[in-house]
Amino acid sequence: MKKKTPTGTVLYTIEQTIKEYRKICQKNIQKIVSDITVDQCLVLIILNDNSNISQIEMARLIFKDNASVTRIIELMVKKDYLVREENELDKRKSKLVITEKGLHTIDLLTPVFNLNRKTALDGLSAEEIEQLDRILHKIISNCKTS
């Protein structure tokens, strides 16, 4: 059996990391709000800070496929976190508006998001985080230009 070196496995460690992080996110979110997912919550927060963005822009911001965003938003509308209104300027786009329930949920969950980040990055220095970011962006760049 082969010896395991980081070179052979670090890419899987990346996958493992994000999965562990998403687990604690979901766990902490559900303590406060039971019917929302990590991704739906993320959509709310992004939309709150960037009003009037299209689904495509949202998809880019959260690194998801357009089709995924359509379905995530569909579920959020069903659960009364969002409403779709008409975009007068461009009828292809939909105007996403946060409901009262959505706004309240943001208030409840913003501290949870901060806690999650803090928990995950606990004990890491600013330099380490910068290095991590730099190395990851290098990998992203390698993949994109391949």
Partner DNA sequence: TAATTATATTTGATATATCAATTAATTGCA
Partner DNA sequence: TGCAATTAATTGATATATCAAATATAATTA
- Residue 93 CB, nearest distance to a copy of itself (Å)? 16
Contact at 8 Å (CB) between 49 and 60? no
Q: Which does 11 bind (CB under 5 to 8 A by kind): a copy of itself, DNA, none?
A: a copy of itself
Pairwise CA distance, residues 89 & 101, whole Å:
27
Q: Which of residues 41-100 bind DNA (CB under 7 A)?
A: 54-57, 64-68, 70-75, 84, 89-94
Which residues would be at the binding site for a copy of itself (CB under 8 A)?
A: 1-21, 23-24, 42, 45-46, 49-50, 61-63, 113, 117, 119-124, 126, 128-133, 135-140, 142-144, 146
H or E element that contains 84 = strand 82-86
Cα angle: 22, vertex 44, 93; to 5 degrees? 120
- Residue 60 CB, nearest distance to a copy of itself (Å)? 10
- Residue 9 CB, nearest distance to DNA (Å)? 17
Contact at 8 Å (CB) between 20 and 27? no
- 40 is a contact residue toward DNA (CB under 7 A): yes
Contact at 8 Å (CB) between 119 and 104? no
Contact at 8 Å (CB) between 58 and 69? yes
Which residues are near DNA by CB under 7 A? Answer: 19, 22-23, 26-27, 37, 39-40, 54-57, 64-68, 70-75, 84, 89-94
